[in-house]
Structure 1
Amino acid sequence: MSLKAGDVIEFERRFTKADVELFTKSSRDEGAHHLTPDEKGRLVVQGLLTATLPTKIGGDYNVLARHMNFEFLRPVFTEDTIRCEVTIEENERQETKNRTSIVASFICTNQKQKHVLKGNFSGVILDS
């Protein structure tokens, strides 16, 4: 399936304590707020773990990222379910380079309908 300008892709993910623990090991982002539960027993999800939501498009559509811009708006906690909406803003086929360039924007919203992350990215999709 190819991407076209105007396409909107939506998906969601629920972050767990195991997700944060695994990301802590691989990233070494060991801030106390990622290791010590709050009064409700939740951990704060690393910003870059939250930022993996829009990067899912890269895996699904074989996009090689060129540029990524993230604005972290509020914290995400374990057991939060985050919905990510990605909008393809531009899609330009480059015949001479055998690739398609894309530009996309995204907004991520928690289960309380609060925006937690927004930004944009650009990249290329190489011909197979």
Structure 2
Amino acid sequence: MGRVSTKEEVQAFCTIFRDHHVTPDEHGRLLLRGLITATAPTKIGGDLHVLARKMVFNFLRPVFTGDTIRRKETVTHDERMESKAGIACDLTCFNRDGKKVLDESLKG
């Protein structure tokens, strides 16, 4: 399952953060802001019940409204206990064509 962002979400984000660069491309799509694209991989924190302490993003290509973003994660370190959480993950997000759009590392 993937995440699809709508024009309305992008427009709401731009209104909240006073971003006036909301011009559709030749196909009528809006460019997703990096923070919107980055919401796709952040779901892993909730899935694993971990609060992220550090997240590093590398945005590889643009993402537009209507595109489906899928994530793949690899847990590289997991020491979750009742008294503390310690986890590290590498995540990659792909567009509907299977092209990488985002790499992320997460520690929590």
TM-score (norm: length of structure 2): 0.90
Ranges of 4+ aligned residues in structure 1 off by more than 3 Å? none
Q: Which runs of 5+ in 2 are unaligned?
A: none
From 100, 103, 107, the equivalent of 1:115 is 100
User: Hey, what does 1:91 align to over in structure 2?
Assistant: 78
Q: 1:103 to 1:64 in 2, by over 3 A?
A: same
Q: Which runs of 5+ in 1 are unaligned?
A: 1-10, 124-128
More strand by share: 1
Q: Which amino acid aligns with 2:106?
A: F
3-state SS of paired residue (1:100): coil
Rounded to whole Å, the distance in 1 between the matches of 2:11 and 2:67 is: 15
3-state SS of paired residue (2:96): coil
Q: 1:83 to 1:47 in 2, by over 3 A?
A: same
Larger Rg: 1
TM-score (norm: length of structure 1): 0.77
Shift of 1:42: 0.4
Q: Cα RMSD over matched residues?
A: 1.6
3-state SS of paired residue (2:19): coil
Contact 1:29–1:46, Cα closer than 8 Å, also in 2? no
User: Hey, what does 1:47 align to over in structure 2?
Assistant: 34
Deviations 1:50-78 (A, max 9, x none): 00111112233332111111000000001
3-state SS of paired residue (1:64): coil
